[in-house]
Chain A
Amino acid sequence: MREPRRRSSLAGGSPRARWAIFVLLVTAAVVYVYPFVIQVANSFKTDGEATRSGMSLLADTWTTAAYTTLFSGSAFPRWFANSVVVTLFVTAGRVLFGSMAGYALARLRFRGRQAVFAALVGVMAVPGVVLLIPKFLVIRELGLYNSYPGLIVPLLVDAAGVFIMKGFFESIPVSVEEAARIDGAGAFRVFWSVVLPMARPALVTIVILSFQGSWNELSHFIVASSDPSLVNLTKGVAQLAGGGLGAGNQYPLKLAAATLMTIPVAALFFIFQRRIMNTSAGAVKG
C-alpha cells in the first residue's frame, strides 16, 4: 500500500502502481457487491436449493414462488405503501429543517446559539432506544398513536443531519454570501438562492441519508403503532425474518423481501449519484 502511493504523483504514478491500486479497488468492489448478487440469485431458487448451495448463482429450478407469495399471500404491498408515504414526508422535513438549522448554527450569530448547539450535541449522544419507552408515551399523550403523524412527525428532524450541514457550511467560503448581503439581500434570500445552491453536495448527502434513514428506520415504528395496517417494510420484514410464513428456512422468501425493500433506496442513490461528484470548488474562483 505504501510503496505504490509514495511513488505516485498527482497524475497517477507509475503504470505499475496504478495497476496495483486498480486491481485492489476492483477486488474490493467485488467483495462489496457480490453478496447482493447472491441475494437476488437465491430469491429465485426453491427453499431446499437455497439452503444447500447458496453460493451458486444459477438456479437448477428457477422459480418466482417467493415473489408470488409476497405479493398475493402477505401484507407486503401494504408495508411498501406505508414506507413510501412516511419516507417522502420525513425526507422533505429533514432536508429543509436540517439545512436551516445547520446554516443558523454555522453562520448566524444569535443569542442562545451556543446553548442550542450544546443541546444538539447532547441530544445526538442520547441512544435512540433510551427514547423508545417515553416516546411511546408522548406519542400516545398527543393522540398520535396508531396514526401516520405519529409515524412521521417525531422523525422530521435528525440531529446528525444538522451536525453534518453545520460542518459543511463552516467549510465553504463566506465571501459569496457576503457579496450577496452587501447587495442588500435578506437572510432568507441569501440562504435560499445563494447558500443552498452552493451546498448541493451536502444537500444530496442529506437527501440520501434522510431517505435511507427513514426508509430503514425500525425501532421508532416498533413503538409508534400496533395497528397492522400501519406496519411498514422494516417492521414487516423483521417479523418475516423472525418467523416466516410457514415451515422451513424460507431463505428465498426472506431474500426476495430484502431485495424488494432495497430497490427504492438503491434507485434513489443511482439518480443522485452523478450530482455527488459536483463540488462547491470554483464558487469563489471567478
Chain B
Amino acid sequence: MSVKTDRGRWRRRARANATGWAFISPCVVILGLFLLIPILMAAWVSLSDWQGRGSPLASGFVGFEHYQELLSGQGLASKDFGLSIRNNAYYFLLVVPSQTVLSLTLAALVNRRALRGKGLFKTAFYFPSVTSTVAITTLWTFLFSASGAVNAVLAKLSLDGPNWFNDPRGIFHLLFGVSPTPAGAGSAGFLGIGLWDWLAGPSVAMCAFILMAVFTTSGTFMLLFLAALQSIGQETEEAALVDGASAWRRMWHVTLPLLRPTLFTVITLGTIGSWQVFDQIYVSGHGSPAKTTLTPAFLSYQSAFVDQQWGRGAATSFVLFAVIVVFTLLQRLVTGNADPTEERPRRRFGRSRRRSS
C-alpha cells in the first residue's frame, strides 16, 4: 500500500480528487442551484424593498430595515414575530427530548432478542411516520375536535377535555390557575411580548401539535436507533454480560456510548425539524387560535406570499435560520461534552488504523 515515489503519490492524489468529485458533484450541483443560490437571493431580498414584481435584483436597497422592524419590539410585525418565537420555542423544548427518549426506548425494547412479534411492534411504531403531515393533521383535527375521540377517552376517565384546536390558553397559566391577562402585565418585555405571555407556555392547541410531532417522528428515529443497535451487534453486549454488568449498566455504559453518533444525528435532525413547523399550520387554521400556533416558518411564508411583504418574509426566515444555528451549536456543545471519553468508541472491527495513529 505504501507509495514510494513523489510522482506516484501525486498521481494517486489527483485520481482520488477526481473520483471524490465525481461522486459528490450531482449533489453539489443540485444543492448549489436550488439551495445556495436561492439563499443568496433571499439574503438580498431581506435587505431590499422588493414588492414581488419583476426581478428582485433591480429593487432598492433598504439595509437592515426589515430586521429592525422584526426585532425592535415595536409594532405588529415584531409582536407577531415574538409570538411565533415563543410558540416554537415551547414546541422545540417539549418535542425534541420527548421524541429522542421515546424513540430510543422503543428501539431498545424492540431490539431485545427474546421479544416475540418484533416485526409487528416495529410496524406499529413506525406507521405514523409514513403518513404525510397533511394527512395526519386532517386526522388530528378530527381526533381533537370538541366532541372527538380524544375527549371521549378523557370523558371515560372522568376528565373534561378542552376544545383543543380552539383553545388559546397557555398550559402554564392553566396549570397554576392564573389569569392570562392580569392587571399590569404585558407592558415591558422582549420582542413586544410581555414576560407574563412569555411564561404562558404552549397553548392547548399547540400541545395537540406537540403530541402530533412526537407521535409521527418517534418511529423514524426508532428506525435509526435500531439500525445502529443492530450494527453494534450483540458480541459487545455479550462481553459486557460476561463481565456481569446489569442490563441498565450495559445500556448506560456500553450501548449508549456506542450509539453516540446516532444520538447526535437524531437530536440534530430533531432540533432542525422542530424549528421548521409549517405544513400543519398551513393545513389547519394558519396560526389560530389567537396566533398561539403561529410559527416563524409559517409567518415568513405568510408575510411574503399572502401579505406581499417579501423583504420582511425573507428577514423572518433569516432570523429563524440564526435561531436554528444557535440551537444546533448549543446542542452540539451539550451532547459533545456530556461524555468524558474523548475518543468515540468505534465498532469492534476496522478503524484500527485510527487507533494506532
Contact = CB atoms under 8 A, between A and B. Distances in A.
B114 interface: yes
Interface stretch (B61-69, B184-192, B194-202, B244-252): B244-252
- Among A13, A33, A133, A242: residue with most chain B CB under 10 A: A133
A174 to B, nearest CB: 5
B4 interface: no
B85 interface: no
B328 interface: yes
Interface string A222-260: 110000000001100110011000000101001101110
- Among A35, A104, A259: residue with most chain B CB under 10 A: A35
Contacts of B37: 134, 138
A110 B16 contact: yes
Nearest to A218: B279
A237 B272 contact: no
Interface string A258-286: 11011001101110011011011100100
A25 interface: yes
A140 to B, nearest CB: 10
Contacts of A25: 109-110, 115, 121
Contacts of A86: none
Given A6-B248, A241-B134, A134 B227 contact: no
Interface string A103-120: 111001111110010011
A111 B220 CA distance: 34
B21 A112 contact: yes
* Chain A facing B: main interface SS: helix
B35 A126 contact: yes
Contacts of A257: 135, 138
Contact of B223 (A130, A233, A276): A276
A241 B145 CA distance: 14
Contact of B122 (A153, A159, A276): A276
A10 B113 contact: yes
B38 A33 contact: no
A10 B238 contact: yes
A206 B139 CA distance: 26
Contacts of A6: 246-248
A32 B211 CA distance: 12
B72 interface: no
A266 B132 CA distance: 11
A180 interface: no
Measured as residues with beta carbon below 8 angstroms from the partner, the interface class of chain B is 35 or more
B283 interface: yes
B41 A262 contact: no
A174 B291 CA distance: 53
A9 B247 contact: yes
A90 B297 CA distance: 24
Interface string B48-89: 000000001000000000000000000000000000000000
A104 B224 contact: no
B125 A29 contact: yes
A55 B152 contact: yes
B134 A33 contact: no
A138 B63 CA distance: 23
A123 B26 CA distance: 15
Contacts of B149: 35, 38, 54-55
Given A101-B27, A266-B130, A284-B349, A135 B38 contact: yes
A133 B310 contact: yes
Interface in B264-288: 265, 269, 272, 275-276, 278-279, 282-284
Contact of A97 (B30, B138, B153, B241): B30
B330 interface: no
B193 interface: no
Given A138-B37, A279-B231, 14 more contacts: A10-B113, A33-B124, A38-B143, A50-B142, A54-B152, A112-B17, A112-B20, A131-B39, A133-B310, A159-B35, A173-B351, A188-B19, A238-B283, A279-B227
17 contacts: A10-B234, A21-B112, A28-B106, A35-B143, A101-B27, A108-B16, A109-B20, A110-B17, A129-B276, A130-B42, A132-B300, A134-B314, A137-B41, A153-B34, A157-B30, A258-B134, A270-B123
Across the A-B interface, the 8 shortest Cβ-Cβ residue pairs? A110-B20, A12-B114, A173-B350, A216-B132, A104-B23, A134-B38, A29-B124, A130-B317
Interface of A: 2, 5-13, 18, 21-22, 24-25, 28-29, 32-33, 35-36, 38-39, 42, 50-55, 96-98, 100-101, 103-105, 108-113, 116, 119-120, 123-135, 137-138, 153-154, 156-157, 159-160, 162-164, 167-168, 170-175, 187-188, 191, 201-202, 205, 208-209, 212, 215-216, 218-219, 222-223, 233-234, 237-238, 241-242, 249, 251, 254-255, 257-259, 261-262, 265-266, 268-270, 273-274, 276-277, 279-281, 284
